[in-house]
Structure 1
Amino acid sequence: MKQILYILIALFSAGMFAQNQSLFEQGNQLYNQGKYAEAIEKYKAILETNNHSEALYFNLANAHYKLNHIAPSIFYYEKALKLAPEDQDIKNNLAFAKNMTIDAIDTIPDAGFSKVIKKITDIMSFDDWSKVAVASVIIFVLLILLYYFTYSTNKKRLAFITSNIFLFIAAISLLIAFHKYNLSQKDKPAIIFAQETVIKSEPNNRSQELFRLHEGTKVQILDTINQWREIKLADGKTGWIEKEDIKEL
């Protein structure tokens, strides 16, 4: 019975893949014909099957960009960049899309020790730092075993020094991995989708207006209260926005 179930699942998956591939090709054909709205519908039909890829998001963003849809184009470029952070085409097109936004927000640069930590942390992903930590621990254990079971003084000294080096590497890698994980947990970016929205001092319509934002601006979500989201801009400003005016990445 289980074998039949596995076969049915495999057949369903294969059929879904073939259908999505057909939709993707149809979307590309419509895009090349200049029928951008129709292409968007094809791409979105793929998303409804919970199929995600940087190519799909990239093409979807390109179609929105052609229609001057500022917020959706930036939103999908950002989604594509999350899956392919080193893709230069995505970065270039995202920069073009951001040029259409109204809000000019300065980014607070990292300085001093925090800048150094950020550069080191960004060298690898959380998974890669974790792998380095595990590999270093394994090497440390092997070197400790070599230290205890060898009789050569020189080999003992070399094994002791090298094992401590790998123990240090393991500890640092583990700390960086946890730091990167914590950063990723706090990272909740969103894009403003409202043409213009009012940012309030408190999560209610009666509170003071702090400033206004426009579509396409990227923010960080700090907190959630009912239908309100506390956001933070790249320049450090914070405030409350209605949930319907933004879309979380």
Structure 2
Amino acid sequence: MKGFLYRSFRPRLFRDPDISGLVRNLTRNDSRRALLAGMTICVALLMTSLISQASYAQRNLEAAFYKGNTLYEEGKYDLAIKEYSLLLEQGLESGNLYFNLGNSYFKKGDLGKAILYYERAKRLMPRDGDLKANYKFAFSKIAFNVPEEPSWPVSVLDRFDMFTINELAIILSFIFTAAFIFLTAGLFMNKIKRYTYIVLPVLIIIFLTFSFSLYKRISALDREVVITTENSEAKYEPVDNATTHFSLYEGMKVYVLELKKEWSKIRRPDGKIGWIRTRDMEKI
């Protein structure tokens, strides 16, 4: 019994914890926290710096734009053009910027450049009333205008010029989504299925019409040009001594068909085709 009691009440001995291991774990965790905190601070500082730089650049661009407006109002059109052009060189593109450049060139008496920038502005804000009015007035000043006689499909597609390319793409996405939802619902709901044969063809026709309009606009991006010289002679062949076919005047818009060194094969709005010097025109 004595031996039993001795063994029973004998305190159990536990091994001492590994103090050095605990210290290493704590140190490792502290290092990770410190590293994470440091990285967070660096990212925050970097983001703050980028936002500050972007804000500073935005303020500079706005200041340059308003400076150009002030110069325009003071009648200093050459300086206004220079200020606006600096914004273009920095990658800024907007309908209002092109519109102001068009106004400046028109006031300066450069009709070709004025119409060129009005055309560029029309691609970004086609429904702007002031732009429409100024463009129409400038267009009336062209020495000789050739009336365009488009076929009826083209004239229908031209009505969609009131939308920008981005807007046309968004509209097409909505039409496609609506058609897909309607078709899917018609497969599972009898009430909708009866209307599928009416609504879907209509949506398909609308989708195709907008698609052709978008294709027409995109294909014209690198083909539409404006004559920027006072007078340009279109020849039958791309050589200087070739016979002159017809004349083009400053501000006229033509369509490029082919490029050959310093010559460009163009089509006039009435369908006449000829070769002109590439330097006589500028791409919209």
Q: TM-score range by the shorter chain?
A: 0.7 to 0.9
Q: Judging changes above 3 Å, is the alpha-carbon distance between structure 1 residues 9 and 200 closer, same or farther for their aligned structure 2 residues?
A: farther
Instruction: Report the counterpart of residue 180 of structure 1 in structure 2.
Output: 213
**Among candidates 168, 175, 179, match of residue 126 of structure 1:** 168
Q: Judging changes above 3 Å, is the alpha-carbon distance between structure 1 residues 198 and 23 closer, same or farther for their aligned structure 2 residues?
A: same
Structure 1 position 247, deviation (Å):
0.2
Structure 1 position 58, deviation (Å):
1.1
**Cα RMSD between the aligned structures?**
2.4
Determine whether 1:216 maps to 2:251: yes
Structure number, greater radius of gyration: 2
Q: How many residues are matched?
A: 237
- What is the alpha-carbon distance in structure 1 between the residues aligned to residue 159 and residue 254 of structure 2? 24
Per-residue CA deviation, residues 159-180 of structure 1 (Å, 9 max, x unaligned), is 2222333432342233223312
- What is the alpha-carbon distance in structure 2 between the residues aligned to residue 214 and residue 5 of structure 1? 54
Q: Judging changes above 3 Å, is the alpha-carbon distance between structure 1 residues 123 and 49 closer, same or farther for their aligned structure 2 residues?
A: closer
SS at structure 2 position matched to 1:50: coil
> 5 Å matches for 1:127-166?
127=169, 128-146=171-189, 156=190, 158-166=191-199
SS at structure 1 position matched to 2:119: helix
Per-residue CA deviation, residues 155-210 of structure 1 (Å, 9 max, x unaligned), is x2x32222333432342233223312321233221110122211112233343321
TM-score between both structures, scaled by the size of structure 2: 0.75
Per-residue CA deviation, residues 103-146 of structure 1 (Å, 9 max, x unaligned), is 221221544xx267437756865321342122221222122122
SS at structure 1 position matched to 2:258: strand
- What is the alpha-carbon distance in structure 2 between the residues aligned to residue 123 and residue 53 of structure 1? 17
Preserved contact between residue 121 and residue 180 of structure 1 (Cα < 8 Å): yes
Q: Judging changes above 3 Å, is the alpha-carbon distance between structure 1 residues 230 and 10 closer, same or farther for their aligned structure 2 residues?
A: farther
- What is the alpha-carbon distance in structure 1 between the residues aligned to residue 218 and residue 242 of structure 2? 29
SS at structure 1 position matched to 2:233: strand
Structure 1: state its 5+ residue gaps.
147-155
Q: Judging changes above 3 Å, is the alpha-carbon distance between structure 1 residues 115 and 193 closer, same or farther for their aligned structure 2 residues?
A: closer
Structure 1 position 27, deviation (Å):
0.8
- What is the alpha-carbon distance in structure 1 between the residues aligned to residue 260 and residue 48 of structure 2? 46
- What is the alpha-carbon distance in structure 2 between the residues aligned to residue 123 and residue 100 of structure 1? 23
65-74 or 172-181: which moved more? 172-181
**Among candidates 93, 97, 122, match of residue 56 of structure 1:** 97
- What is the alpha-carbon distance in structure 2 between the residues aligned to residue 203 and residue 29 of structure 1? 45
Preserved contact between residue 172 and residue 211 of structure 2 (Cα < 8 Å): no
- What is the alpha-carbon distance in structure 2 between the residues aligned to residue 123 and residue 217 of structure 1? 21
**Among candidates 230, 233, 243, match of residue 195 of structure 1:** 230
**Among candidates 86, 94, 118, match of residue 77 of structure 1:** 118
- What is the alpha-carbon distance in structure 2 between the residues aligned to residue 140 and residue 120 of structure 1? 29
Identity among equivalent pairs (%): 27
**Among candidates 146, 161, 171, match of residue 204 of structure 2:** 171
Preserved contact between residue 107 and residue 234 of structure 1 (Cα < 8 Å): yes
